Structure 1
Amino acid sequence: MFNFSVTTHRQVLNKVNSISLAALLAFSACSSNAPTKAERAQNEATKRIIDAAASTRLTNLVSYDMGESRDREILSLTPVKVGADYYAANLKGVVYRFVPSTTVDQAKASKMPSFLKLAQATYSPQWQYNVKKGIIAGVSANATVATVITREAKLLALDVQTGQVKWENQLTTISYAPTLMTNDLVVCYTIDGLLTAYNSSDGQLKWKVRVSKEDDLQLRGQASPVLYDSDTVLVNATNGRLIAVDLATGVLKWEHRVSFSTKRKDIDRMIDVIGEPLLYHNQLYSVSYQGKMTAIDLLGQRQNWQIDASSLTSMATSLGQLYEVESDGVIRAIDLKTGDVQWTCDIFKGQLLSNPVVVGGLLVVGSHSGNLYSLSPSDGKFIGRNKVNGSISKLQMTDQQLLLISGSGIFSVWQATSK
């Protein structure tokens, strides 16, 4: 059972209350009816099936212990791959760059634990930098700098070659979302609704624009800005709106309301959109908590369809379907063109799950209990599981590899092997 809590960050949140996702689910569970005897029996039977499931085709390529983190806050930390290298961080404030050991100074490498084999090459930390104040969001990187956001609401840019601070900026407040990085810009979305762009080379302010107002009550989580094309940044604002901003100038291009609420209580009216929008063939898909899933044709600037949904994560796509994890742990497949539900998997109902990803023909979600669950993308049938040390809040996909940082501070890389 998760503890329900509302935390006030007095110095940097300006008295804005943020609710952890785990706490919110616990509150929802306490408010619902207790399961019947038949439902409890079904839940126990389902648990036995999951516990007995064999490991899947997912292979753990890389595993590195970066030190224990705090489960409830690991949501903000995501590893990233740039070229052949990986960047990761823990909440204590240590940032790592991992590179093939053939490019690492062997004297330095001998003092650090080495990586497991990855594509027949050994990876080791090229450098590690201790921010000391703790990190609340990151890591993002391009060819020159890696960025993180600290608990003191500072945006730090580290030189990717040396691991030293290249520049830093004090933000208006914190951000739970990793920055968007282009070759030239670093774009940051803070919880007070400001979208701000800085020059990647020196940290000079390029532009800033307010895309949403500061809410009195919001979830502890945010969607990172995403790049639609070379000229446009998209951001899922916490107020249920999708905003498009000109990348060069910060000028608002257009906005769509993707969710709304008719409830009366504050906690019931929360329609935060904290998952990144999904772009697919000039179609944009967005989902909110206690709100809607919306499909928008970006070329025609029109809404294709909208259905009821409540999700705390980003979505994935394959086989002409959207894959969505509902806030109660139910997984759904939605037809991309019509919005019709194709299948539903409820064997993980009641669990706190990560965002879904598709890797090597498997639909994979992570759990707070430390499992990577694999399902069939075509029909949602449960295939098996892989155990991870620590809770899993977010999965990152790149180059057909699955990257994650667990609640125990383990950075790992997974890949699906051939059938």
Structure 2
Amino acid sequence: VVAFNQENGTEQWRRQLSSEVLAVPAIGEGMVVVHTEDGTIYGLDAGTGDQRWIYNQNIPVLTLHGTSSPVISGSTVFCGLAGGKLVALSLETGMLEWEGHVTIPSGGSELERMVDVDADPLVYSGTVYAAAYQGDVVAVGEGSGKVFWKRKISVYNNMAVNWQQLVVSDAEGFLWSLDPDSGAARWRVKDLHYRHLSPPAILGDYVAVGDFEGYLHWFSADDGSPAARMRIGSSPIVVPPVVRDEVLYLLSTDGTLAAVRLPEAE
């Protein structure tokens, strides 16, 4: 992990960790929290890179190539684990506050038991949303880990949420809009089946999602009806889109960076 000065780009510190870092570190309250591929979660001092705490876990023999990014909310760090769990850790000490199963592994083979929580947890209005591959999407209490609802959908991408809906692109290429309070399906788009969808984004009255051919698809956030489609490039869009000031920023695997505004109303 390397920290750079935001103004001039000079290196501030560098820290060697136990294995590859595939997840985006979380920064808050003077801490940098990093989740490595071997399942270790580090709490580092943001100013110096010194290790403040470490949380170790056992990971399954077979996992997806990816890890959930830690998410900081108040004084707590939330992170999904390769074995199907979601943990809440103290940001200050790294001590476990609570843990719960997003999905419990089942099946006779290592492949069938692979239930990685690679999607980043979403913290919204006192609820934490998490999802597992070959498993479930769940909503749990931020302070207690109490399960509010659970729905069987296989997910490895990040999700998007607002007051109206939780939007999920599943492992088969279906795009779902779920009620954030109950998990009930509001709508589902089936036309993008097996197009290896990117994480979705909510922008105004629309939901946007990219695919493996470089297309960006827009749908009505109200009912999932198609609104627009454009091609960003010929390479897959896999990085989570970033929404700022009604502009959607996208990055494809060939390095193409695009800024896209809302579709014009017909």
Give TM-score scaled by structure 1 length.
0.60
Distance 1:257 1:381 in 2: 34
Counterpart in the other structure of 2:157: 313
Moved more, 394-403 or 334-343: 394-403
Q: Which runs of 5+ in 1 are unaligned?
A: 1-154
The answer (yes or no) to whether the contact 1:324–1:356 under 8 Å persists in 2 is: yes
Instruction: Give 1:280 deviation, angstroms.
Output: 1.6
Counterpart in the other structure of 2:240: 395
Distance 1:404 1:263 in 2: 37
Task: Please state which structure has a larger fraction of its residues in helix.
Answer: 1
Counterpart in the other structure of 1:140: none
Moved more, 232-241 or 386-395: 386-395
- The SS at the match of 2:112 is helix
Aligned residues: 263
The answer (yes or no) to whether the contact 2:3–2:12 under 8 Å persists in 1 is: yes
Counterpart in the other structure of 1:228: 73
Distance 2:260 2:115 in 1: 33
Give TM-score scaled by structure 2 length.
0.93
Distance 1:261 1:216 in 2: 13
2:8 to 162, 173, 184: 162
The answer (yes or no) to whether the contact 1:283–1:295 under 8 Å persists in 2 is: yes
- The SS at the match of 2:253 is coil
Amino acid at match of 1:189: H
- The SS at the match of 2:43 is strand
Does the alignment pair 1:381 with 2:225?
Answer: yes
Counterpart in the other structure of 1:294: 138
What aligned pairs does 1:151-230 form with structure 2 within 5 A after superposition? 155-182=1-28, 184-210=30-56, 212-229=57-74
Amino acid at match of 1:275: A
Distance 2:101 2:39 in 1: 16
Instruction: Give 1:162 deviation, angstroms.
Output: 2.3
Instruction: Give 1:164 deviation, angstroms.
Output: 2.4
Distance 1:301 1:192 in 2: 24
Q: Which one has the largest radius of gyration?
A: 1
The answer (yes or no) to whether the contact 1:360–1:417 under 8 Å persists in 2 is: no
RMSD: 1.6
- The SS at the match of 2:248 is strand
Instruction: Give 1:182 deviation, angstroms.
Output: 1.9
Distance 1:299 1:171 in 2: 30
Amino acid at match of 1:166: Q
The answer (yes or no) to whether the contact 2:207–2:219 under 8 Å persists in 1 is: yes
Consecutive aligned runs of 4 or more in structure 1 exceeding 4 Å deviation: none
Give CA-to-partner distance per residue, 1:20-42, whole Å, 9 cap, x none: xxxxxxxxxxxxxxxxxxxxxxx
Distance 2:53 2:259 in 1: 36
- The SS at the match of 2:99 is strand
Instruction: Give 1:171 deviation, angstroms.
Output: 0.8
Distance 2:263 2:252 in 1: 22
Instruction: Give 1:314 deviation, angstroms.
Output: 1.4
Amino acid at match of 1:265: S
Does the alignment pair 1:237 with 2:84?
Answer: no
